[in-house]
Chain A
């Protein structure tokens, strides 16, 4: 198993680590089997742009690097754009991940979607209509094949 230079760079110098005090969207997801837990904080402007994003991750090198890359990729984007971010795109931006580490990039995608869902909820909207799922990732893991570890 070999990490790309980009993964090592993002792992060693993670972007956007930390918390946002006045976040208006927070999502936490975890893959207990692997021991990865990821928490994403969003500060979304009134016109739906992600002004700031921060993360905290308990996990391996790939989990930390994908959190860092994912937050970097959505910062300044609209929520609609951010929802289009896939784990594949994050992995590609990192010049690839070892196959056994792909599940860590799924986690970053889920954490982000979960934070966005939380934002919609706080705005009084039903996230299921916008995201197409309940965002209860732990419950839906067994249904999504790409979530299989």
Chain B
């Protein structure tokens, strides 16, 4: 029997009922521009600042009250999503006064492109960037970090959890190392917030990016948390909103939806993620038991609760996604064919998977909406689809992969 199973919660999540209800009045009834002086404008402004406070509390940001009596939990800067928050953090910091003229930046090889391409752009401007290696589980090399840090290092930017394989990084240790040379620490926590505990004070985080749609808020709105005392160069110039860092009339409903979804996610975190983790464990075990010549990717222990990522030998990921789609399943792959580029995902390359094998990757990411029945259906269908594709594959012979063909071909390049 065919079902519809959404198992791509790392790509985006369905808006929660709570977030939707919180947003509705700000789309229809209270449409005032938060910068306007009259009542409905002031109301919008107040609601925005309440949302800021909620976000600050969820991150356990320090909560100084400023002169304007704007509650300013650290600095919560609303942006148009996770990518904008990453751009503002990295580019804004390196160009800003708090970098104190230091020209070196450290990140990792498995960051999201919002970070990697920002770093590449900075390199063209003359900044020096170190891209840290990761081990086979996707954990950054702390020894290498130690060796690369210097008095010229302005910023260390390492993601909290990886979007493809779910590996969680040792944030506290990284922050301490960065601080030991007077550098600041930014983390792209887009996949982490709402899925694991985050405490910016306890973890020593100076800047943190998050995005509402990864924890059942609306798409197109995010936050950059900036610790008090850090000055950034603006991302968008204009009317001076968001402390002049990200100008433009605020997405009131979006920001309020973000805060509502975040509060809901963080309050029920242990219970919900315990449930999601049980489902994911069952999924991983089921797939690994049922499908031969399969590799599990990501850290077996320190991993996001909903992430299950695999590579299947002798098949290619795009075909897998299309066939699963026919069976009502939404998942994703890092295969080259799917990205339109020539190489499989940079994350799968960085954890050391050979090209031929990395092409057969599948990422299934579960959320609180998924059920046991979903997981049973996923296991059964993935096994069936992989076997169909293998029966069509020239590198699958007599029930096992014959990848020498692939590796020989590979040497031509």
Contact = CB atoms under 8 A, between A and B. Distances in A.
Interface of A: 1, 8, 11-12, 14, 17, 28, 30-39, 56-64, 98, 100-101, 138, 141, 149
Interface of B: 314-316, 318-319, 322-323, 326, 335-338, 340, 342-344, 355-356, 359, 391-396, 405-406, 409-413
Given A11-B322, A32-B406, A57 B413 contact: no
Given A32-B410, A34-B336, A57 B394 contact: yes
B413 A35 contact: no
Nearest to A7: B322
Chain B CB count within 10 A is highest, among A1, A8, A34, for: A34
Nearest to B406: A37
Nearest to A31: B409
B406 A57 contact: no
Nearest to A11: B322
Contacts of A63: 316, 319, 337
A56 B412 CA distance: 21
A59 B405 contact: no
B393 A61 contact: no
Given A33-B342, A34-B342, A11 B409 contact: no
Contacts of B394: 28, 37-39, 56-58
Nearest to B333: A60
A30 B409 contact: yes
B340 A100 contact: yes
B356 A35 contact: yes
A33 B342 CA distance: 6
28 contacts: A8-B322, A11-B322, A12-B322, A12-B326, A17-B392, A32-B355, A32-B406, A32-B409, A32-B410, A33-B343, A35-B335, A35-B344, A35-B356, A36-B337, A37-B409, A56-B394, A57-B393, A57-B394, A58-B315, A58-B393, A58-B395, A59-B319, A60-B318, A60-B337, A63-B316, A63-B319, A64-B392, A138-B409
Q: Considering the complex of A and B, which 6 residue pairs feature the smallest CB-CB distances, nearest first?
A: A60-B337, A35-B359, A60-B318, A39-B394, A56-B394, A32-B409
Contacts of A57: 392-394
A56 B393 contact: yes
A28 B402 CA distance: 14
Contact of B337 (A12, A32, A37, A59): A59
Interface class of chain A by DSSP: mixed
Contacts, number: 89
A149 B323 CA distance: 25
Contacts of B343: 33
B409 A64 contact: no
A100 B316 CA distance: 16
A4 to B, nearest CB: 13
A12 B342 CA distance: 24
A138 B337 CA distance: 19
A58 B413 contact: no
Contacts of A61: 318-319, 322, 337
Chain A CB count within 10 A is highest, among B314, B316, B335, for: B316
A129 B302 CA distance: 61
B105 to A, nearest CB: 31
Contacts of A37: 394-395, 405-406, 409
B326 to A, nearest CB: 6
B336 A32 contact: no
Chain A CB count within 10 A is highest, among B340, B342, B394, B409, for: B394
Contact of A56 (B335, B355, B359, B392): B392
Contact of B355 (A1, A35, A60, A138): A35
Nearest to B337: A60
Contact of B319 (A31, A56, A64, A101): A64
A67 to B, nearest CB: 9
A112 B236 CA distance: 54
Given A37-B406, A60-B335, A32 B316 contact: no
B209 to A, nearest CB: 27
Nearest to A139: B412
A100 B413 CA distance: 19
A62 B245 CA distance: 44
Contacts of B393: 56-58
B317 to A, nearest CB: 8
Contacts of B405: 28, 30, 37
Given A35-B344, A37-B406, A60 B338 contact: yes
A59 B316 contact: yes
Contacts of A138: 409, 412
B359 A1 contact: no
B224 to A, nearest CB: 31
